[in-house]
Every structure is written in structure tokens, then in C-alpha cells.
Amino acid sequence: MSTPRLLLGFDYGTKQIGVAVGQMITGQARELCVLKAQNGTPDWQQIEALMREWQPDALVVGLPLNMDGTPSDMSARAEKFARRLHGRFNLPVHTHDERLTTFEAKGERLRQGQHGGYRDRPVDALAAALLLEGWLSDHPAA
């Protein structure tokens, strides 16, 4: 039996980048952490540490499209982030339409009664888990 494929998902933002981990075999993902970003630039050493710790087979970056499916201003920045991940870590990097994942993540937090600060369950990390699960459900394990 082959080893389950492990993926890291990124909900890219100019101030924060949510990170999640998921597995092909279960099709599930869970939030890991939120990384700070300076005008969209992450601390690459933090991402490198995550790569060493989790040793993913592939990466998924959320693509923030407009509701009509056209690229948004953030789409180009997310795609650039995806290219940089590929260039730095030489792993397959996939993008996934992330429309509504942040909205869904906020709703999920409210449903669970977490009205407090984002520290309980950071919405960016939860959005990363939701977009990664979306990608996994679109690409089920063979």
C-alpha cells in the first residue's frame, strides 16, 4: 500500500496566511496555524520550518476569484505566491477556487459558539482547511 499523500493548504492574504494540512487518503484537512505577512510577503523561514515538519507531497493555494469567477486583484498575488512556493520547495503547487471559504469559516466559528477573538480558532487557518478539503474532494484518491 502506498503512503498517503500529505498536502499543505494556504489561504493567502496580504497580512496573514492561513495554513492547513490534509491527506488524500481521508480527504480531510485541519487548520495548522496563521503566519504573519508583510504586504503579502511571508516569513519564508516559517514556511520552510512547516515544510520540514510536515514534508508534504504537494501544496494547494487558495485562489480568491470574484463571485462571477473572474480573477480578482488578489488572484494575481496568490498566483505569484504559488509560483514562489514551487520555486523555493520544488513541489507541485495547485490553486483552488476559494470563493466563500473565509465567509464559510467565519460562519463555522459562529456555529461553534466562538464569538471571541480569532485566537480560539483563527479564521484564516480554518479557511485554509476548507479550501484544502474542497481541493481534495475535487481530486479524490484513486
The CATH number given to whatever domain includes residue 26 is 3.30.420.140
| pLDDT for residue 119 | 46
Tell whether 85 is covered by a domain: yes
Give the pLDDT band of residue 67 (cuts 50, 70, 90): confident
| pLDDT for residue 117 | 46
Tell whether 1 is covered by a domain: no
CA distance 123 to 116: 12
Tell whether 31 is covered by a domain: yes
Tell whether 49 is covered by a domain: yes
**What whole-number percentage of the chain has pLDDT above 90?**
60
Q: What's the whole-number average pLDDT of the chain?
A: 85
The whole-model pTM stands at: 0.84
Tell whether 34 is covered by a domain: yes
Tell whether 26 is covered by a domain: yes
Residue 90 has pLDDT above 70, yes or no: yes
* Domain around 126: 6-138
What's the pLDDT tens digit per position in 70-84? 998 899 999 999 999
- How many distinct structural domains can be found in the chain? 1
Segment 22-26 mean pLDDT: 92
Q: Nine-digit cell at 126?
A: 480554518
| pLDDT for residue 139 | 86
